[in-house]
Every structure is written in structure tokens, then in C-alpha cells.
A and B are shown apart, each in its own frame.
Chain A
Amino acid sequence: MEQGKIIYICENTPDGVFTAIYDAWAARIADERLNIIVDGDYTFELFAEYRYVETDMEKAVKVARSVSRKISSEAYRQMYTASLSHEEDKIMAIYRFLKLGFRVGAAVTDMHGRDEVCRVFELCRNVSNEACSFREFLRFAELENGILLARIRPKNFVLPLIAGHFADRFPEENFAIVDDTAQMGVFHERGKKWFLSPVDSEAIRRLWNSERSQEYERLWKLFFRTIAIEERRNYRCQRTLCALRYRDYMLEFDR
């Protein structure tokens, strides 16, 4: 009798993804029978065995450590970034990438002739590009008490990639960045380290809609309008460089 598929289901965080990879690896399942997906909306397959993965920090750290040591830190960076992707095939892509990586070592990240390398590279590029865009386009609003609050609605889970940038830039500020998609937030208290935490979206909405200082928002909109050269107006170019999906919270585009 033909052997059925085995499908691992894990939490959609780097820790969860790494744990699933660890478990699947340890179980030595043939590639063609294996699938690893994140918990959420998936189509149920008949005659497949489902295994739910319990996120385990120790296993996740083991994976991270051995990739960094036995392959390279660049391979680890790509794998970590790819694990933040919203694409369904990301975990299997990483799994196949690692299989090759453990065989060939640090050279793996240069092997653009191989499909498994290309795929992780593409996922990683997509996530990094989106992180860059939000580093540019997110806007803080100043609440009554001087706290800065920003909201973003990304496709990928980019918060861990942008948090460090803002914490480095604003060591003396109290700020929070909230991801509407993942319902997670980054919190930074003046002079302390930042941390990630799930957020209550209702509370965020209330905070976001509360009184806030408007003076500099008005001045920014004015500057944004004035700085454009009428004779060179080109909305298509503007849209190419700053896609509509980034503009949800960019106040200068409010009508």
C-alpha cells in the first residue's frame, strides 16, 4: 500500500516554523510525503496524517544555531527573513534549502542555479523589500502624553525587521508600532529594549482615534503639497514608487 502524506501544522512565527522543521527533520520523512504548513486557513486533505507542532524554544534555538554554525550566518538571515513571509510554501522552501545547505555549506546562498535556493531568495527579498517600505512610509502620530504610535498593514510579518531600526533611532522616545494584519505590536519604552507582544485591536483603535496633536501633521501636509513641482506632475510615477497599499496611514495622502 502506498504511504500517505504527513502534514505538520505549526504556529506562524519564526519559533513555530523552526520547531516544525526540527520535528520533521528528526522524523526522517521522505520529501514527497512531507508537507509543513502554518496554522490557519488550509484545505483539509483526506488520507493525510496531521501532526500539530508544539512550539518549543529549545528546538527553535537548536535549528538557528546549527544553521548559523554549519552553513553560514547569511543562510540563517535568509531563512529567518523567509520565515516571516505570508506565502504558503515558505516552510517547505526553507526545509529544502536547509537540506542542500547542510550538504554544501556556506556556498548554498550563492547557488542561484538551484530552485530551492532561488525560492528562499525570492521569499527573503519580498519580505525585506516590504520591511524597507514600511521603514520609509510608516508614520507616527503623537498622542496626548507624548507617546508615538504608528499602525501598519503589511502582507508579511515585518515588525521584527523594523523594530531595531526605530529603537536605534529614537532611544529617548516612548513608541509603539502596531501591525493590523498580525495583531502584534512592537513596544519601546524610553531607554529600554523593545519587545513584541500581541495587541488588543479594539484598544489600539480607541487609542488611535483619541485626541492627538495636529500642528505638525498640518505642517507636513502643507510641505508635501508645496514641494511638488506642478510642471512635472506625474501621478503614475508617484504610484509606482509609493504603492496605494502603503498609503492607509500616510496622512499626506488623506483627502
Chain B
Amino acid sequence: MFVVEDLSVDQKLEILSDAAKYDVACTSSGVDRKGQAGMIGNAAKCGICHSFAADGRCISLLKILMTNECIHDCKYCINRRSNDTLRTSFTPEEVCELTIQFYRRNYIEGLFLSSGVRKSPDETMEQIYITLKLLRETYRFNGYIHVKGIPGASPELIEAVGFLADRMSLNLELPTADGLKQLAPGKSREKILLPMRQIQKGIHGQRMLLTDGRAERPVLPMQEEMSLPAVSGRLVPAAPRPKSAFVPAGQSTQMIVGATQENDFQLLTVAESLYRSYDLKRVFYSAYVALNEDSHLPEVGTKPPLLREHRLYQADWLLRFYGFEAKELLSEQRPNFNVYLDPKCDWAIRHLEHFPIEINTAPYDMLLRIPGIGVKSARRIVKARRSSRLDFEQLKRIGVVLKRAHYFITCNGKMMYRTKIDEDYITRRILDLDHKKNWELDYNVTFRQLSLFDDKNFA
């Protein structure tokens, strides 16, 4: 390892943002906080993106590592010990200056601080703690902070950091314990889940205080297998938060897609149990970019599975906002998503017995299951039909994507066109709609370029 001490801030920023970029989470959502006299910053629950990089990913936070020195040798990681790269570290002051100066120019919504493990998990977590304390207390920063928990760090440090950050995340990295053992010899499932549970309990404990334990659900005992009973009902803190909240924007995690053999069903099942039993706010999926040479990994230069990642995000959305369960979307027999159809359409086409659905009478949860209708438009439909019957023209103005939805709905008993409720027929029509988009995602070529050698019509 070449550790270089006296680099300029420019050089450090280049190295330590380059080393941080494979972590996908860059959202600033989950917490509303007003500004305060004498401080700088506020936070918006919906999150705010500030720019979009050349890869189309949102830039919301200053995403950097504290250091890219690392004692671990995780095979998939660009910062693994055995890679011959330049190593350096920021000082806490440098991180604070960059954050504040970027923030006041409206470049960013806050800081996303992660780190390699330089000497020990505790030493690393302590550096992070010192930095956040300086940023919050001396620099008076009141904006968003997302911080990585370091697996293996002591519970006291995790807790102390949790009171300074808005969101904390520990990356699960791989959906199965075996995969993790194979690719990250220095980490274990337990070392990741333990702090995750601690953070959950911290958040939970705070809610208990605020709600007097009303409508609270039990914290489940630590389990190695993450199969969980279905518990419904979300909590809404009823009282104002205490002055310093513990991880108010909740925790998130990330899984790498395509580095190992795990299928979509495994990934999605793990995500589902994380939402249910660990109260996670978000699970992120990161298409593996093959940069490291290793016999256990896809060959260097293998294309990152972007379309697969996209499908997982779509399905994740269905779990969180549309009332779907993982087992409705996939099964042991059908463990991977249809590459050509989005998971919602795919589900609808395999369950045509529920369709067509009458817009003017269907219950809200059924409206949500119609391809082309989102949460917002479903809500608007329910409100609007109280005063008048809705027709296709009004659905369009409400924001329903009719070119997708019209195969599955009726308005006042009539379909929009003379279409058949037939699996093959609808599949073909929708594939035509989506073909272009899907190819662009994975192959990054325009449709025009593609049609030159497009053979789909000959199939």
C-alpha cells in the first residue's frame, strides 16, 4: 500500500470520491428539519438531488471516504488491501470545510461519509465520530448526514455516531452468508447484523419514549436466519422529537448484484425480511462493476447487470408502496425477474383473472396493482370518483399511463379499445412498448443505432 501523507485537498478529493463511488446510496430523504438561527442547513423529508453525474445517477450528498486504507481484502471491493492503489485520508477539518463550502453553494444536501478500515473498526468509527461532532458542533451544520456503520465497531461508538447522523447504514453486501464468507473473508453476517439490530433498537427505544409504548411492536430477538413473521402497521411518532434524535432518517443497506450466483428471489426475500424485521428504510442494489481480478468473480470488464438492478429496484418499490410480497413476484421455480417485462406488468399478465378492473368501483389496493397506475394517481382516482364518474380522458389528466393501463381497466364498463384479455396478446403489445427502453439500459445505445442490427422482428 502506498500511503501518501501530504497530498493537496484536490488530490485527496479525487482519490477518496473515486473510492466511494461504488456505494450507490445517495439519497437525502427521511427527515424534515427546519433551519435554525446561528446554524447552517435544514432537511427535507422527500430528499433533494442536486445534480446528475455522467452515469445518470443522482448526486445529493458529498460522497467520500474518510480513508481508503483498509485492513480487509474483500474480493469485490476496489479498496481491498491487495490492490495497488494510492492510499490517503482526509482530516476531520478537511471533510468539514468541503461539506460546508459545497453546501452553502447549493451543490449538495449534506455529507455521506464512509471509510475503509485503517487500523481497527473502533479506530475508524472514532475518526468518523470526531468528524461528525466537529461538523455538527463547531461548524454548526444542520443539514443531512448519512454515515456508514463499520462492522465490528463497539456499540458505544455506533450509538454516539447515531446521535449525530440522520441515517446510518451497514452494507449487507451479499444476500447469503455463504457468499459473504467467500468474498469477504474479514467480515461475517453477524458482524453486520449485530449493529444493524442495535441501530433498530435505538430508533425503536426512542419511539417508545415518544409514544409511551402505544402501538409499539416487539423487537424481535436476534436471528441468524432472517425469516420473519409478518407484522403490519407502521409507526408514526406522535410527539415532537427530542433535541438530538437517534438516526431520525432510519437505516439502509446495500447488496451487490451479479458478483455471485444468488438469484433475484434470494435478494428480494432478504430485502423483504430486512424491511419487516429490521425496520430498514431502504435497501439499495448495486450492479457489480467488474474491476478486480479474482477466480470467484465475473471476469474483469464484464458488463454491470444494469437491467437486472433496475428490475430489483422496481420490485423493491412494489414491496414498499404497493402491498406486494416477494413470493407473489417470484418463487423457487421462477427465481429471476423477466428481463423483458417490469415486475408489476409481469404479475398482472400472470394474473389476468383479476382483470379488467373497473376504475369507478375498484378498491384502492386493487387500483395499485394496475400497471400504469402509481400511488399518486390511485389516490387521486379514489378522491375524484366521489364527485363524478371517471372516463379515460380524465384518467390521462390525473396522470395514469394509459398506453400501459388500458389493457387492464374499464371505465364505466367499457375498455378503451377493443383489446383482448389474453396473456400472449398483452405481453406482445407491452413488449413492443418496453423494448426500446430495456435495450438502452443494458446496452446504452439508442434505438436508432439498435434497429440497424435488431433481429427481434425475425424471432
Contact = CB atoms under 8 A, between A and B. Distances in A.
B384 A168 contact: no
Nearest to B140: A172
Interface in A194-246: 216-220, 222-238, 240-242
B56 A169 contact: no
Given A168-B34, A216-B102, A231-B304, A122 B52 contact: no
A237 B143 CA distance: 28
Interface residues of A, number: 57
B333 to A, nearest CB: 32
A140 interface: yes
A229 B22 contact: yes
Contacts of B106: 138-140, 150, 166
A102 to B, nearest CB: 15
Give the bracket for the number of chain B residues in contact with chain A.
Answer: 35 or more
A28 B289 CA distance: 68
Contacts of B394: 112-113, 118
Contacts of B17: 223, 226-227
If over half of B's interface residues share one DSSP class (helix, strand or loop), that class is named, otherwise mixed; here it is loop
B104 A170 contact: yes
Contact of B105 (A137, A172, A216, A222): A216
Between A113, A140, A218, A225, the greatest number of chain B beta carbons within 10 A of the residue's beta carbon is seen for A113
B22 A170 contact: no
A233 B40 CA distance: 34
B59 interface: yes
B98 interface: yes
A141 interface: yes
Interface string B290-306: 00000000000001101
If over half of A's interface residues share one DSSP class (helix, strand or loop), that class is named, otherwise mixed; here it is helix
B105 A220 contact: yes
A168 B35 contact: yes
Given A111-B384, A112-B398, A224 B53 contact: yes
A232 B306 contact: yes
Interface string A142-160: 1000001010000000000
Given A107-B387, A148-B105, A233-B444, A222 B10 contact: yes
Nearest to A250: B51
A228 B21 contact: yes
Contacts of B385: 113
Nearest to B36: A171
B386 A172 contact: no
Interface of A: 104, 107, 110-114, 118, 121-122, 135-142, 148, 150, 165-173, 191, 216-220, 222-238, 240-242, 250, 252
Given A171-B36, A234-B56, 9 more contacts: A111-B384, A112-B390, A140-B106, A170-B104, A220-B105, A227-B53, A227-B59, A233-B54, A236-B440
